Structure 1
């Protein structure tokens, strides 16, 4: 059977929930649940950051990238490539926080596919000579370790020291833990997992050094244009993250919006990306990213069963117990989530739901599926 691929984010076929294996009332209950559990984060994102959204040490929480206010919760559910259910303004390019990390992962996969990076298991220092990988702590760090957040990279980048995210507790109810931002003893690369935005930004800069062109340009050419994404999405760095490469001034993007900047993108454009991943990196008969990259990116890292190459996994049920174990996710503060399940040919995008409510949303979607 021929797979359906939408022509663009604005030209997208719909399917009756019953024909997609869902109960329509059940899907409405899921979206109603998402709206009722709207994120408590201030809609004025700049105010949220200024009010210490991430629990930063005093003097290091300054916002150095652009922000924009967010709007109402919104999202959509796609099965078989077609929209089954949609709520809110899914064409508005909202800030998306750490979902940008998964787009960084795609840029790394593309670099691997094109031979710019020979292997993710090689030290970054073999290709990147900008001083960031010269120290004893950093010189053996591999691309895989940066992608898996096990690098233990040490240093300061764009005025933010790596220890600003030491002891970060993603399960903390607020501020991400009272120990966050308190320097700890460094471990050997590959032996300690830590969600660290400074290190992700170091990966972004390393990828820029390898590509020698802006990562948004790479992403647009290789992924977003071929899948029919809109022209509304933007990917920003910081006011101080400009570097010169081959005589050209280029901004290094951020892997989130921790200090502003990051990816501003619509739910529909994210759903297109999710569908491309669910279809194994292909789009309308054309391969955009290798199957080998997707398999590696969705394989658990050696010391965290819930994490691959900047994608959250669910093989052990740690990301969303109510979702199938075949699911994986791009996640960002707020919460913003792209839910991908290749086995079900299912993609869902949920914007501005309370973090602890997302699993409840997944449960309601699966109830609607089972009850169809």
Structure 2
């Protein structure tokens, strides 16, 4: 009996030690998984959105050694009366408005500050589009009608087989991808766990196997499409995304702070939503696009790419919001009105006719409720028309 107890005690000790060792080696993954599970909690979401580097793997996007492009101050705007209520209802954390390139309004809310580098979510998609435009202009990617498998053979025989770069830019890949943020088993949430646990985003994208339509025929918002675009860019250049974005977009713009990307466990940038910048620097991106890609004394993004990517070219429904090359076009938009948009209330809104750029960040846990998106667009238009 004593021998049995001794062996049982030894086995128990071994199991405890083994568990401790596994826990030690996996504590970072566990921490990141816990961070994903509590990322949008009401009492943590505001802090989390300004401190994503506390919980996830990251890589810097250097801003270069040049001087910061100054944002001057113009006449301070008298905003519509309903703006204050909208800020509260939509849990807005920052609001920067440029009129003719000068700051007409700047405010920070819910305990956040000017220096916070805030998560972009899908606003990052529009940055990737800008980078694609530069590479197309340089001849690195000669044709948008080339199949993505020409650059990434590992996608052959999967869901992206037959899709062109243009199809994927338009989010008309026809690939099945469940974007339901409220369903723990949706593809978007499975992807989040891959990111948190240090898995491979490339592997996750290559594993997509289902399609619901022929490429180019139906528009459906599919975030993994943007990661596939990043795979094409990395394959065409042989360079990591953070380095390319720094050289082609960020450094020429003269930002105040170096952005950073969230990454997977292999150092691959989370291209579809992992950029983090200050709200002022988001506004600089908007001003560059308002000026047809010209900023800081140079043509950063080709003007013809800005024009092509910010008009509704995707096969969206006639009575729905339009989509270009990773940019949104509001319903009924006049020429030169378009925006980058991310979940939970991240926006860069451009109204070229009014000379207005609005960059806003938020922690809006009700962003998916009916009418919220329309309310935000209506607010941006009201602000633009008032200054």
Question: Helix, strand or coil for the counterpart of 2:226?
Answer: helix
Distance 1:371 1:205 in 2: 42
Question: Helix, strand or coil for the counterpart of 1:106?
Answer: helix
Aligned to 1:200: 226
Distance 1:87 1:267 in 2: 10
Aligned to 1:8: 68
RMSD: 2.9
User: Is 1:331 matched up with 2:341?
Assistant: yes
Distance 1:353 1:360 in 2: 16
Q: Which runs of 5+ in 2 are unaligned?
A: 1-66, 189-208
The within-5 A match list for 1:125-164 is 125-129=149-153, 131-132=154-155, 134-135=156-157, 138-153=160-175, 163=176
Q: Which runs of 5+ in 1 are unaligned?
A: 1-6, 40-71, 154-162, 243-250, 318-322
| TM-aligned CA distance change 1:140 to 1:344, over 3 Å | same
- The answer (yes or no) to whether the contact 2:242–2:261 under 8 Å persists in 1 is yes
Q: How many residues matched?
A: 289
User: Is 1:36 matched up with 2:88?
Assistant: yes
The within-5 A match list for 1:1-372 is 8=68, 11-17=70-76, 22=77, 24-26=78-80, 29=81, 31-39=83-91, 73-88=93-108, 89-129=113-153, 131-132=154-155, 134-135=156-157, 138-153=160-175, 163=176, 165-166=177-178, 168=179, 175=182, 186-239=212-265, 242=266, 251-257=267-273, 262-304=274-316, 306-314=322-330, 316-317=331-332, 326-352=336-362, 354=364, 355=367, 356-357=371-372, 359-364=374-379, 366-367=381-382, 370=385
Question: Helix, strand or coil for the counterpart of 2:341?
Answer: strand
| TM-aligned CA distance change 1:326 to 1:151, over 3 Å | same
- The answer (yes or no) to whether the contact 1:141–1:189 under 8 Å persists in 2 is yes
Distance 1:325 1:141 in 2: 29
Question: Helix, strand or coil for the counterpart of 2:98?
Answer: strand
Distance 2:312 2:227 in 1: 21
- C-alpha offsets along residues 275-316 of structure 1, whole Å, 9 cap, x if unaligned? 1111001124411111121111112224116100111112x3
| TM-aligned CA distance change 1:370 to 1:308, over 3 Å | closer
- The answer (yes or no) to whether the contact 2:159–2:211 under 8 Å persists in 1 is no
Question: Helix, strand or coil for the counterpart of 2:254?
Answer: coil
Question: Helix, strand or coil for the counterpart of 1:78?
Answer: strand
| TM-aligned CA distance change 1:34 to 1:226, over 3 Å | farther
Q: TM-score, normalised by structure 1?
A: 0.69
- The answer (yes or no) to whether the contact 2:117–2:278 under 8 Å persists in 1 is yes
- The answer (yes or no) to whether the contact 1:137–1:188 under 8 Å persists in 2 is no
Cα drift, residue 145 of structure 1: 0.8
- The answer (yes or no) to whether the contact 1:31–1:361 under 8 Å persists in 2 is no
- The answer (yes or no) to whether the contact 1:74–1:352 under 8 Å persists in 2 is yes
Cα drift, residue 360 of structure 1: 3.6
The structure with more radius of gyration: 2
- The answer (yes or no) to whether the contact 2:148–2:160 under 8 Å persists in 1 is no
Q: Which moved more, 1:350-359 or 1:116-125?
A: 350-359
